[in-house]
Amino acid sequence: MEQIKAQYQVAIVGAGPAGSAAAISCKEHNLSVVLIDKAEFPRDKVCGDGIPLKTFNLLEKLGFNEDELFEDGHKINQLKVYSPEYKITTYGNVKADASTKSGCIPRKDFDSKLFKKAAAAADLALTGYRVIKIEDVANKKKLILKNLKEAGQKEIIVEAIIAADGANSAIARMTGLLKREEAHYFDGLRCYYEGKKFDSAVHLFYDRQTLPGYVWVFPVGEEKANVGIMINKKFKSSSGKTIRDIFLDVIENNPNLKEVLDGARPVDKIKGAPLPLGTLPGSRITNGVILIGDAAAFINPVTGGGIYFSVLSAIKASEVLNDSLSRNDVSEKGLIEYENWWREEILPGFEYSDMLKRWFDSEKFATWFLNTASWFKPFANFFIMVYGRPLPKRALWHPLFWIRVFLQR
Ligand SMILES: Cc1cc2nc3c(=O)[nH]c(=O)nc-3n(C[C@H](O)[C@H](O)[C@H](O)COP(=O)(O)OP(=O)(O)OC[C@H]3O[C@@H](n4cnc5c(N)ncnc54)[C@H](O)[C@@H]3O)c2cc1C
């Protein structure tokens, strides 16, 4: 077995948006870094491909250029939300606006650009290696990597690990972090469609079969859209239908969706992936290990959005780790600032989203609420304020929140 010994302070496992952002951020703190992914890039990732403005703001701080990221994507100016009774609430205007930063970029292209920069920044980038085991050795962490291209293994000894290995995180499993309860998961499917001109709007279809989840159409190019569904994981066990049955049923029968997709055809297979939601119980740190991104289940429980939280948590983890390494203390206690941070700064937003998700579990409520939002601005404002951005702690106690709900045009 080949050994690479203690040359690196940090091993980052997973090089999606979370791991790539962490590698760049760690190097900004002058930490020595090995970045590991089992995949070779470019690699696909089942996702809605929707990337909000606030993500680009973070990525720009890490040295990315928005125009470069958008070479393969589509800018978005409008959001349309459809109720189970087909009423429509519209936010924004489809007219192109050069200053718009929100958009949809196929993950294969987006992640590849992030990885390229991260690999160049890292002291060593290993792709095609799966982390299969971690061990404690004299206050350090030994990672055992399986070479997926040819037979063989590598050992790497580091001081700390940033686990960015996604929704099925092996590191979270090996360290016993997170309690994998089905109630805190969505299941998702995605298929690309082509064959018609899509405008610069994203569409959310709250069909009665998908509640509290939805079906989406997110254009990733002028003539290509990401079409997908996310739905409660526990749903599958309580009905005879599979998520795929429901997805196809909604595509075939929802009149709003039929109109948006009219003329477009699927151009690839339907692919699935789980979404671990931010309310998933459990600590995100242990001795020498920090979980970030999907490995930490940092996905908004009502939108299914996780890319922003991946980058945000990567930046925070690097900052905390830099501090802990300088104090020579990467114990659970030494990393506690990260645990406190996510509980204080992002969990409250997940809890507000979860509240809306639980309300939308009721077909009656969701239909009444979304029908009303289509003509009564305060309801539309409330929805977008919970849906559109992570709310801070006690946001609903703040008069400004309600002023915006009632007065925003
Ligand atoms: C159907 C669906 C739709 C979604 N839509 C959106 C959306 O529109 N907008 C949004 O913001 N978010 C969306 N999300 C969530 C988003 O995809 C995730 O939050 C995001 O991918 C998290 O990034 P990550 O870097 O943490 O994980 P990933 O992107 O999953 O990257 C993890 C990496 O770890 C590697 N890896 C895994 N195990 C190992 C191992 N043992 N050893 C080495 N490498 C390993 C993998 O190869 C992978 O490259 C969606 C998710 C789903 C499932």
Instruction: Please give the structure tokens belonging to residue 330.
Output: 């990467």
Alpha-carbon span 365 to 359, nearest angstrom: 7
DSSP string covering 154-207, please? EEEEEEEEEE---TT-HHHHHTT-S---GGGEEEEEEEEEESS---SEEEEE--
Question: Which of 201, 259, 252 is CA-nearest to residue 229?
Answer: 252
Predicted local confidence at residue 238, as pLDDT: 63
Identify the residue whose C-alpha is closest to ligand 1 atom 2. 47
Contact 48 CB / ligand 1 (< 6 Å): yes
Predicted local confidence at residue 95, as pLDDT: 60
367-385 pLDDT, tens digit each? 999 999 999 999 999 999 8
Could you tell me the distance, in angstroms and rounded to a whole number, from the CA of residue 202 to the centre of ligand 1? 21
Identify the residue whose C-alpha is closest to ligand 1 atom 16. 306
Question: Range with the lowest mean pLDDT among 64-73, 116-125, 251-260?
Answer: 64-73
- Compute the average pLDDT of residues 214-229: 96
193-208 pLDDT, tens digit each? 999 999 899 999 999 9
Instruction: Please give the structure tokens belonging to residue 199.
Output: 């405008």
Identify the residue whose C-alpha is closest to ligand 1 atom 30. 166
pTM: 0.96
Alpha-carbon span 159 to 156, nearest angstrom: 10
Contact 384 CB / ligand 1 (< 6 Å): no
Predicted local confidence at residue 237, as pLDDT: 57
Could you tell me the distance, in angstroms and rounded to a whole number, from the CA of residue 306 to the centre of ligand 1? 8
The residue ranges of every structural domain in the chain are 2-45+108-181+280-350, 66-102+183-276, 362-407
Alpha-carbon span 322 to 329, nearest angstrom: 10
Pick the CATH number of 66-102+183-276 from 3.10.20.30, 2.40.110.10, 1.10.10.60, 3.30.9.100: 3.30.9.100
293-332 pLDDT, tens digit each? 999 999 999 999 999 999 999 999 999 999 999 999 999 9
Mean pLDDT (the chain, rounded): 93
Could you tell me the distance, in angstroms and rounded to a whole number, from the CA of residue 47 to the centre of ligand 1? 8
Instruction: Please give the structure tokens belonging to residue 246.
Output: 């429901």
Predicted local confidence at residue 70, as pLDDT: 86
Q: Has residue 100 got a pLDDT over 60?
A: no
Q: Using a pLDDT cut of 90, give the percent of the chain over it.
A: 80
Report the SS3 class of residue 239: coil
Predicted local confidence at residue 390, as pLDDT: 79
Contact 233 CB / ligand 1 (< 6 Å): no
Could you tell me the distance, in angstroms and rounded to a whole number, from the CA of residue 75 to the centre of ligand 1? 21
Contact 18 CB / ligand 1 (< 6 Å): yes
Alpha-carbon span 48 to 192, nearest angstrom: 10
5 — pLDDT class (breaks 50, 70, 90):
low
Give me the amino acid identity at 282: G
138 — pLDDT class (breaks 50, 70, 90):
confident
Alpha-carbon span 300 to 353, nearest angstrom: 7
Predicted local confidence at residue 36, as pLDDT: 98
DSSP string covering 298-356, please? ---TTT---HHHHHHHHHHHHHHHHHHHHTT--STTTTHHHHHHIIIIIHHHHHHHHHH
- Compute the average pLDDT of residues 156-168: 97
Could you tell me the distance, in angstroms and rounded to a whole number, from the CA of residue 278 to the centre of ligand 1? 14
Identify the residue whose C-alpha is closest to ligand 1 atom 51. 47
Alpha-carbon span 214 to 200, nearest angstrom: 19
Q: What is the CATH number of domain 2-45+108-181+280-350?
A: 3.50.50.60
17-63 pLDDT, tens digit each? 999 999 999 999 999 999 999 999 999 999 999 998 889 999 999 99
Predicted local confidence at residue 1, as pLDDT: 66
Going by DSSP bridges, is the β-strand pair 2-13/153-163 parallel, antiparallel, or unpaired? parallel
Contact 390 CB / ligand 1 (< 6 Å): no
